[in-house]
Amino acid sequence: MVILIFLHMARTFFFGAYKYPRELNWIIGVVLLVLTFVMSLTGYLLPFDQRSLWATIVASNITGNGPLVGPYMADFLRGGAEFGATTLSRFYAIHMLLIPGLIIALIGAHLYLVARLGTTAPPWIAAKSDNGMRSERV
């Protein structure tokens, strides 16, 4: 999913599909990208073996070192001051309920905007004007 999302993002970027009137769809896309990363992070802990446990402890320590809100965010992620069973159920709830719900809602909005605005033509397709002459791409 991460690879496909980057391919999709590159396609929309190189086709200039982020420009007016599709700015909002680009912004929704960026939020979808961040949510996909949150899915990766929360999903990684779920096997709860040594590798996933220590990798997630490192991630929560990095979060905890962030300025101002870092310690609060780390406490929120861990479900308390200590890393333990509560952390696992919290990551599970975030991974299978919270983020999928947000992703489904945002994909709905994303596709609604695509249906409303249409897709951007590839740069190599020049628009035809009324008199049949090829003109600037619109």
Residue 119 as a binder of ligand HEM (CB under 6 A): the answer is yes
Among 77, 54, 50, 53, CA closest to 65: 77
Q: Is 33 or 46 the residue whose CB approaches ligand HEM more closely?
A: 33
Q: Which of 85, 114, 126, 127 is the binder for ligand HEM (CB under 6 A)?
A: 114
Other beta carbons within 10 Å of 21? 9
Q: Is 53 or 102 the residue whose CB approaches ligand HEM more closely?
A: 102
Q: Is 7 or 97 the residue whose CB approaches ligand HEM more closely?
A: 7
> How big is the chain by its Cα radius of gyration, in Å?
21
Q: Which of 2, 3, 5, 82 is the binder for ligand HEM (CB under 6 A)?
A: 5
> Which among 7-15, 43-51, 78-86, 129-137 is the span making contact with ligand HEM, rule CB under 6 A?
7-15
Which stretches within the chain are classed as H helix? 2-14, 23-45, 50-64, 70-78, 85-93, 99-117
**Cβ within 8 Å of residue 102, ≥6 positions away:** 35
Which amino acid would we find at residue 104? I
Tokens of 106: 């945002």
Q: Is 29 or 77 the residue whose CB approaches ligand HEM more closely?
A: 29
Residue 25 as a binder of ligand HEM (CB under 6 A): the answer is yes
Judged by the rule CB under 6 A, the positions of this chain that interact with ligand HEM are: 5, 8-9, 12, 15, 17-18, 22, 25-26, 29-30, 32-33, 107, 110, 114, 119-120
